[in-house]
Structure 1
């Protein structure tokens, strides 16, 4: 995180492996488990929540 000047508390981490998501949360990141089965709408919702995508 330091190498790229990012702050863990404002970083969103998305992964399909629970252990990676748990590690990211432990490190202070916002993390979301996404394996593709829940559909694009769920992913878009999380991206909007964190300001990555504009609100609809």
Structure 2
């Protein structure tokens, strides 16, 4: 999962938030949603949905 744990599809925000914490982040941490491999999009979406359900 991306380290900032944000909503899927928010790639621009992901890049800015990751850059605040990592000087030279891995490409997968700042990639646009459409550029991520299917397995990573599915994993990120599952994690996001679980967190969303937990905090209600």
Greater relative contact order: 1 or 2 (C-alpha under 8 angstroms, separation 6 or more)? 2
TM range (shorter): 0.3 to 0.5
TM-score between both structures, scaled by the size of structure 1 = 0.32
Larger Rg: 1
Higher normalized helix content (fraction of residues): 2
TM-score between both structures, scaled by the size of structure 2 = 0.32
